[in-house]
Chains A and B, each alone.
Chain A
Amino acid sequence: MDEARTSRRGLSPRLWLAGGWLILALAAATFAPLIAPQDPLAQDLMLERLPPFWLDGAESGYWLGTDSLGRDLLSRLIFGGRIAFIVAFAAATSACLIGSALGLIAGYFGGWADRFISRIVDIWMAFPPVLFAILLVAVLGTGLSSVIIAIAVIDWTRFCRVIRAEAMSQARMDYVESARIAGYGRIGIMLREVLPNVLPSVVALLSLEMGIAVIVEAILSFVNLSISTDDPTWGSIIAEGRLSIHQAWWVLVFPLITLILTVLSFSQFGEGLKARFDPVLR
């Protein structure tokens, strides 16, 4: 037993790598005005399509080059990160709260509550998510809050399904009966016995969902349905980069890499956290 006590696992490499990237990106986004080398909106046709720093013709101060309007790509990515992170946190948290609460209720209480919630989830899942999002934003009007609402409204089912299944298996554990014997009511048991055991999954899903929210926001920007086109977002940068792929590949490639790294980091970070905070190995 003393072995088990001391064998607290340290942070895994993937947690380090994913967490490191996220912290770096988040810090850059938060302090964007201080960090960004240029004004992300400043156009200068004299500087159009400058290549990244290691290629001939690069200009110092424009590390990742410029786009076809001469705007600094690195600065635009950093400022784009602000929107990506705001959407990621707000949308994922809302989806998480709605979905987890409903999933917990459906899974633990079962019966008609489960049938009702599960039916809604089934219906919800029948809509193609991206089309659903485009439709919602079209109805709500473009803008940051619409994007957040759209993602939350669509993606709560993800949480609901997983948490429902976990809560169901938790509800069969003896410690649930033991809590009844101890005199706890149904809601007390749900919060005290079931919730702590589904939390690791909630956290993992939340992190994964943040990555998904970043993608959805990028997709919406890409089809010009996110926020005003003046503010740089990763999606809008990618959309513009696509147009000049043959003249300036970097305008497409760097935002794509940023996007992929961020989304991957969110999912790996979540998985890593789940493994880290699961005390129950056996």
Chain B
Amino acid sequence: MAEPLFSVRGLKVALPDMTRKPLIGRAPLAEILKGLDFDLPKGSVTGIVGESGSGKSTLGRALVRLIEPSAGSIRVEGRDISHLSEAELRPLRRDLQMIFQDPMSSLNPRHTIFNIIAAPLRQNGFGDRLKERVAEALQRVGLPRNFASRYRHELSGGQRQRVGIARALALSPKFVLADEIVSGLDVSTQAQILTLLEKLAAEMGLTIAFISHDLSVIRRLCRQVIVMREGRIVEASATDALFDNPKEAYTRDLLAAIPLPEIDADWLRLPAKAPA
């Protein structure tokens, strides 16, 4: 098999736990990720699923090195990026892009859409022909080019998330981290955004880590799935195998908890797990 884009071994991340911060002095560290091993094959879409507190977002932010691991290695095409400095990372950023959960917070209200999409281009040596490049990026996500002069508050939720995608893809990166990118959207918009991402991933040969709490969404989009719980990988396998034949009880619980839009009188009667 070809070399994976990402190769993660023994990944641990510890972050300051602000809830236990003493009045004076530093907050103690809490281990969020407790040793993860996995690969992301080139050109694949991998779903990372888990409930709150599973560490899935922390994992994503470690992959694009917004945070530094406390142990283990993250290799991108063989090169360990886990402890590179911000300056050493800068040339690599071009290939490691990210789409954020909340486009409201990830688009600066003071910048036009043009400036938002142009930012990564300018910063990575594509400052020429900016107008064309931004127009292309907008077109790619199905927005008219005159949106370039608008501001965040002039866009709908779905349009904002399209801008987020346009910005992440403007540099034609190798890897895109998509962190809960549809969880704030209405179902009808959600379907549009997912179909768009699905199409672009195929066209551009992107490697995507798709973080979500929603297994239904993951089944459609992803070739493999990593199920996380409390900082560890519970189960990782090919998508169809995982859905058709989940090995772990936790994965089965997750699947059983999804309310499908169909009548099922027994669904609520099944013994759900006793609450604590």
Residue positions of A touching B, CB distance < 8 A: 1, 4-5, 173-175, 177-186, 188, 192-193, 196-197, 279-282
Contact = CB atoms under 8 A, between A and B. Distances in A.
B6 interface: no
Given A180-B66, A182-B120, A279 B155 contact: no
B153 A279 contact: yes
Contact of B151 (A186, A192, A279): A279
Contacts, number: 76
Residues of B contacting A: mostly: mixed
Interface in B166-225: 167-168
Contact of B64 (A181, A193, A281): A181
A183 B101 CA distance: 20
A180 B108 CA distance: 13
Contacts of A196: 108, 110-111
B153 A281 contact: yes
Interface stretch (B34-42, B48-56, B91-99, B259-267): B91-99
Contacts of A4: 153-154
B100 to A, nearest CB: 5
Nearest to A195: B110
Contacts of B151: 279
A183 B94 CA distance: 7
A180 B66 CA distance: 8
Nearest to B179: A174
Contacts of B96: 181
Given A181-B98, A185-B86, A279 B119 contact: no
Given A4-B154, A174-B100, A178-B167, A280 B120 contact: no
Nearest to A173: B105
B70 interface: no
28 contacts: A1-B154, A1-B155, A4-B153, A4-B154, A5-B150, A173-B108, A174-B100, A174-B105, A174-B106, A175-B105, A175-B107, A177-B100, A178-B106, A178-B167, A180-B66, A180-B93, A181-B64, A181-B98, A181-B120, A182-B124, A183-B94, A183-B120, A185-B87, A192-B119, A197-B109, A197-B110, A279-B153, A282-B153
